[in-house]
Amino acid sequence: MENNILFNVPCDRKNREIIIGGLLMNYGFLSRETIGESRCSRAIDMLCIGNRGEQVLLAGAFHGMEWITSCILLRFLGEVSEAVKNGQCLCGIRIGTFLNRRGLAVIPCVNPDGVEIQIHGSDAGGKYSEMIQNVSKGDTSRWQANAIGVDINHNFDAHWEKLHELERESGIIGASPTRYGGEFAESEPESRAIASYCRTGHIAHAIAFHSQGEEIYWSYGDYHSDDALRMAKAMSEVSGYTVSEPTGLAVGGGFKDWFEQKFRRPAFTVEAGKGTNPLPLSDFGSIYEKIKELLVISLIL
C-alpha cells in the first residue's frame, strides 16, 4: 500500500489519520486502540498485528522535531501488513509466521502535541499557546517537548531525581523546548500512557525511535538484559548503525532506561538518520531503506 501523501509532507496529526485510516481499510486484521491522550486531548494511538499476548513494541515521535520516526513506523507497518495479507516475505523473512508467535505493537506518535507545535506553531498548543510562545521566544521550529514544555523522554521513572539535578545544573528549571523532565516522574499523560501499556506485561522487548545519529543505545547501567547486547549487534550488522551508549543529560529519565530498569527485558533507542533535526523528508527514503531490515529482525530476535 502506497501512501505518498504521508511521505511528502510532515507527519502531523492530519496525515497520520490519512495513513492509519488507509491501513485499517486495507488490512482487516490490523487493530487500533487509543492508549491515552495528550495534554491537549489528542489521541495516542497504538496499532497491533499478530499475537496480542506477547508483543514487540515500536514507538516513535517522543520529540516534536523527530516526527520522521512516525513516517518510518507507519511505512513499516504497511509493508508488514501487505506481506501478511499476501503470505509474502519481507527482507527474506516470512513475517506472518513470526507474528503468530509474537505480535507487533506500534505507537507512531507518543507526543502528538509536540509534533503539532513543531510543525504548525504555538497556536497548536491550544490553552498552552501563550506559554509556548514565551518559552520558545516565538520560534517553535526547535520544539521537542509536549504542550506544557516537558520533555517526554526525561519524564520516566529511571533515576529521574538524578537527571532532574543535572537539568537544574544546566539551567533547565522549568518549561522548556527540550530536556525539562517535569515536576515528577510520569507527571505527563503521554509518558503515563505508554508506561501503563507496558505494565500489562505483554511486551517482550521495546524500541524507541528517535532522530538522528545512526546509533543504537542498548544498555542502562546494570539493568540491561543478557540478550540486549547480542540483539543490538544484530541490528547494527544489518543497518550499519553504531552500537553506542548515551552520556550526560541523555542518561536516565528515558523510556528505554525505564523499561530496562522496570522489567529487566531488552529495550533500545534507535537514532534514525543523520543530520539536523527535523530531518528533511527528502532523506526519508534512504533512511527507511537503511533501517528496514533492522525493523524486520527486531520482530524475530
Report pLDDT digits (tens) over 98-149.
999 999 999 999 999 999 999 999 999 999 999 999 999 999 999 999 999 9
pLDDT of residue 6: 58
Give the mean pLDDT of 90-95.
Answer: 96
Residue 8 is predicted with a pLDDT of 82
Domain membership flag for residue 23: yes
Q: Is 45 helix (H, G, I), strand (E, B) or coil?
A: strand
Kindly report, residue by residue over 219-234, the tens digit of the pLDDT.
998 887 789 999 999 9
Q: What is the SS3 assignment for 293? A: helix
What's the rounded mean pLDDT across residues 172-188? 97
pLDDT of the residue at 76: 97
Has residue 155 been placed in a domain? no
Q: Write out the three cell numbers for 273.
A: 538518520
Q: Is residue 122 part of a domain?
A: no
Residues spanned by the domain of 44 = 4-115+185-298
Q: Is 168 a member of any domain? A: no
How many structural domains is the chain composed of? Answer: 1
The answer to the question of residue 126 being in a domain is no
pLDDT confidence bin for 1, thresholds 50/70/90: very low
Lowest mean pLDDT segment, chosen from 78-92, 140-154, 179-193, 236-250? 236-250
Quick check: is 154 in a domain?
no
pTM of the predicted model over 0.95: yes
CATH number at residue 54: 3.40.630.10
Task: Evaluate whether 66 touches 18 at the Cβ level (below 8 Å).
Answer: no
Q: Is residue 153 part of a domain?
A: no
Burial status of residue 268 (CB atoms within 10 A of its CB: 0-12, 13-18, 19 or more): buried
- Going 162 to 165 to 167 to 170, the CA torsion angle's sign is negative
* Within-domain flag for 171: no
